[in-house]
Chain A
Amino acid sequence: MENGQREQGGSEYAVEMLHITKRFPGIIANDDITLQLRKGEIHALLGENGAGKSTLMSVLFGLYQPEEGEIRINGKKVHINDPNDANDLGIGMVHQHFKLVECFTVLDNIILGVEPVSKLGFLKKAEARQRLIELSRKYGLSVDPDARISDITVGMQQRTEILKMLYRENDILIFDEPTAVLTPQEIEELMQIMKNLAAEGKSILFISHKLAEIMAVADRCSVLRKGKYIGTVNTKDTTVDELSAMMVGRNVNFHVEKEPRTPGKVILKVEGMTVASRMHKNNAVKNVSFEVREGEIVCIAGIDGNGQTEFVYGLSGLEPLVSGKITLGGKDVSKTAIRERSILGMSHIPEDRHKHGLVLDYTLEDNIVLQRYFEPDYTKAGFLRRKNIRSYAEKLIEQYDIRSGQGPATIARSMSGGNQQKAIVAREIDKDPSLLIAVQPTRGLDVGAIEYIHKQLVAHRDAGKAVLLVSLEMDEVLDVSDRILVMYEGEIVAELDPKTTTPEEMGLYMAGAKRKEM
């Protein structure tokens, strides 16, 4: 917006998306959806993956043109052809994955694209800096303008993103799942920030599938399901249960049902494990020791980037140990190859399903046998036994309800994230491992798929096997695990009992504010 002034129409609404319909070949992504964002309100947009939230936002940003319906900004009908139009209309967005230049400072990131320059083309940073400081005071967004993005916390990175929108004088702020990467304390801060912004007259659209947060911060909530508009409710007149039923179309059991169980003998014993970091010279995992027993789910909780990734790499054999000892079922596997560990009963649902979990350009069936293609059932005299592979894949597809376009012959890349993950879960659990390592197994999945995967983990535990869950999701940690180990900066700083601990207590350990002598 060049002149910094926008027409303030008399309308009650900042954004109105009326009867939006967007079709893709074979699917109606948005089917007659209406979303009305009042000025100065926090409006939540709730829906499972694939419900049409992203498409709707892409329509708002001009990336897609809807077949039907119209968009009004401040009561005035507009045509948004590309994101620049949206920006000119004062619409800004904080993405789930931040769009920041890691090696730039906070200030540089904020002015990027709208750099104030003198007539000779020199940057006028002092001026920008002054504005930034004023903005951060006004809205209570504390940032260090000269800190590099790579050196600051995720929370501060997010505040940088918010300041980016404010610097551009956006009045309509969209937050796309903003709490996924934050600690409970940071989430609370963000909630306060959002309330401050709304109080200052900004209109906020809050995309989320975390019901508790919606209840805590939003004024109203619109729900989408399978591309259709289900309804809009005032949060003070509704309950979490009602919202979730609206979202999934049935009642979802959030609490994971599980019977108490007495753990059996030790399956995994880790002593003094230290793993080097690829990012810096220090060790990412420092002197970690713990045990996992038969029939228990042990969870490694922590904020992203506290050594969990390297910890799993060390455990699974993807990275060598600097020191320490791993014993699996009584056998020292510290230096054993990945394949051997797998044969000895270790399964690994990897953190990144695209990087490690799947060969995306292979078919579903080829991915399903990825951990056992070398077994005599699937290979004979060096040749793959295609018939057996096909029937095994069909069995797992049936048993684990993996949905895909062309069954076993579907290219994995074309499958939805949830079904890709199901395929990996099926593959790893069907090996019947004595130790199942599940790293963020529900990341990016919708409620139905999460419920399903949690059930699988519990079933595996109930079958008397050991499960090691690595998760960033507080609810998942508290619901699923039998024992919680909190990891902070590569060390285990606390062992907690999920029955007695609270999210707040866990958050303090996760943020490094507190530690137990282990």
Chain B
Amino acid sequence: MEKKISFLKKPAVQTLIASLLCILLGLLVGFIVLLIINPSGAWNAMSTIMRNFWSFSSARGQIKNFGNTLAKTAPLLMCSLSVLFAYKVGLFNIGAAGQYVAGVGVGLYFAIGLQMPWWVSLIAGTLAGALLGALSGILKAYRNVNEVISCIMLNWISLYLVNTLLAPYMDITMSETWSLKKFYPSAVLPSLGLESLLNNHQYVTLAIPLAILVAVAVWVLLSKTRLGYELKATGLNKNAAKYCGMRDRFNIVLTMAIAGALAGMGAGMFYLTDMIKWPSTVTAVPAMGFNGIAAAFLGGLHPIGAVFSSFFIQHITDGGSFMEKTYPSEIAGLISSVIIYMCAFVLFFRQIMNRPKRHEKVKGGNIK
């Protein structure tokens, strides 16, 4: 009785189509916004966003900006892995942003404050993220506090804690943390010779291959291991997980800790390149963690999909910053946000594709 599943009903194919549709729709809406603001420059601006580094004429400029995009993709990928990992276990980790901030704070504190080498700082940042994630997990598992609520509150708590923690390590003239390259070179992530591939790009480091490796590891963990089997079972049906003797509460805490660790590690992968520094007064949670949500969904909630979706989102975000000056500077941010916003609609599109026909919907169902 079972028929072969048609090509279009295959989950992987559907996800891919949905993701592409999202991108298309995002670009379209972004384009319309540009048209409304200034019709004459719209096409140009849009193509700049799409081309990002290609819009530079010199090979040198292209490589430099390609490297920049790659360097920023690594933390975004880590945040999206954080979100999708928790999501696979039935939790919505909107706290990736806060866990990322914790990773920045503790990572930089170890690097500057304690003058530790890069790998100690990276691990410290990872653990900080894990700790913050675990906190939400504990609240969820033992006190049934919705993880979304606790995560949002912890995002702000960690932001201000990190501001306080890093306050003594500010370069007053620059109003940001001390440059690692100049003063603490041992805390900078090694490049492993990758820089020579990209014209001695100073920010292309170990972080990029490491993030991809972590993506593969997350995929293996979720699909091949006993732990992944347990965690997914807990996420899909925690009653059944409990029934067969899995530690359902512990699994929730563990999931959030792993998700937090991924975000915290992502922070280290970015800030320990010295490409970016923590400003002296930060009043908004960095967008990286939130963009991770969009990247996770755009990637079809698959770790390997996240590699590509993270790169795409970073690509258009950077592209936006090269837009011509005929538009106000905020527009670049607006356009990339519109596109990212649309990217989160993957599940929505998949739902539409799978919308049951009327008879399927009521099959065996309620007669009112």
Interface set of A (CB-CB < 8 Å, partner B):
24-27, 54, 57-58, 61, 63-64, 83, 93, 95, 99, 316, 318, 337-342, 348, 350, 355-362, 366, 370-371, 373-374, 379, 382-384, 404-406, 410
Contact = CB atoms under 8 A, between A and B. Distances in A.
Contacts of B229: 366, 373, 384
Most chain A beta-carbon contacts within 10 A, residue among B239, B245, B363, B367: B367
A355 B237 CA distance: 7
Given A350-B243, A370-B233, A83 B368 contact: yes
A357 B240 contact: yes
Contact of A93 (B226, B233, B367): B367
A83 B244 CA distance: 42
A24 B359 contact: yes
Given A348-B243, A370-B244, A406-B2, A362 B367 contact: no
B236 A360 contact: yes
Contacts of A410: 2
Contacts of B236: 359-362
Q: Give the interface size bracket for B toward A.
A: 20 to 34
A356 to B, nearest CB: 4
Contact of A318 (B242, B246, B366): B242
Contacts of A95: 366-367
Given A95-B367, A318-B243, A338-B244, A362 B226 contact: no
B10 interface: no
15 contacts: A54-B364, A57-B367, A58-B362, A61-B367, A63-B367, A64-B362, A342-B244, A348-B243, A355-B240, A358-B240, A360-B236, A362-B236, A370-B233, A370-B240, A383-B225
A355 B239 contact: yes
B362 A63 contact: yes
A243 to B, nearest CB: 24
A383 B217 CA distance: 13
B227 A58 contact: no
B226 A83 contact: no
Contact of B224 (A58, A373, A384): A384
Contacts of B355: none
B143 interface: no
A373 B229 CA distance: 9
A64 to B, nearest CB: 6
Interface in B217-257: 224-227, 229, 232-233, 236-237, 239-246
B359 A64 contact: yes
A57 B362 CA distance: 12
Interface string B65-83: 0000000000000000000
Given A350-B243, A370-B233, A382-B225, 20 more contacts: A26-B1, A27-B1, A63-B359, A64-B359, A64-B362, A93-B367, A99-B366, A338-B244, A339-B245, A355-B239, A356-B243, A358-B240, A359-B241, A370-B240, A371-B245, A373-B226, A379-B226, A382-B226, A384-B225, A384-B229
B182 interface: no
A404 B246 CA distance: 27
Most chain A beta-carbon contacts within 10 A, residue among B236, B359, B362: B359
A374 B1 CA distance: 34
Contacts, number: 91
Contacts of B244: 338-339, 342, 370-371
A59 to B, nearest CB: 11
A214 to B, nearest CB: 22
Contact of A374 (B226, B365, B366, B368): B226
A430 to B, nearest CB: 14
Contacts of A355: 237, 239-240
Contact of B237 (A58, A63, A348, A358): A358
A357 B243 CA distance: 8
A239 to B, nearest CB: 31
Given A54-B364, A63-B362, A26 B3 contact: yes
Contacts of B226: 373-374, 379, 382-384
The list of the 8 closest CB pairs from A to B, nearest first, reads: A405-B2, A339-B245, A338-B245, A356-B243, A379-B226, A61-B367, A359-B237, A370-B244
A348 B243 CA distance: 9
A283 B363 CA distance: 39
Nearest to B244: A370
Contacts of A64: 359, 362
Contacts of A63: 359, 362, 365, 367
B255 to A, nearest CB: 16
A11 B34 CA distance: 71
Most chain A beta-carbon contacts within 10 A, residue among B244, B364, B365: B244
Contacts of B1: 26-27, 405
A340 B242 CA distance: 13
A351 to B, nearest CB: 11
B342 to A, nearest CB: 27
Contacts of A366: 229, 233
A405 B4 CA distance: 10
A280 B201 CA distance: 67
A337 B247 CA distance: 9
Nearest to A86: B367
A355 B236 CA distance: 11
Nearest to A27: B1
B367 A58 contact: yes
A58 B360 CA distance: 12
A404 B2 CA distance: 8
A329 B225 CA distance: 33
B77 to A, nearest CB: 24
A402 to B, nearest CB: 14
A342 B241 CA distance: 13
A356 B236 CA distance: 11
A324 B362 CA distance: 46
Nearest to B360: A24
A370 B239 CA distance: 13
A366 B367 CA distance: 34
A324 B293 CA distance: 49
Contacts of A405: 1-2
Most chain A beta-carbon contacts within 10 A, residue among B233, B239, B368: B368
A355 B359 CA distance: 26
A63 B367 CA distance: 8
Nearest to A386: B224
A379 B236 CA distance: 21
Interface in B325-365: 359, 362-365
Contacts of A350: 243
Contacts of A359: 233, 236-237, 240-241
Contacts of B227: 382
B240 A356 contact: yes
Contact of A383 (B3, B224, B232, B243): B224
B367 to A, nearest CB: 5
Nearest to A23: B359
B160 to A, nearest CB: 39
Contacts of A379: 226
A161 to B, nearest CB: 13
A371 B241 CA distance: 10
Contacts of B368: 83, 99
Contacts of A316: 243
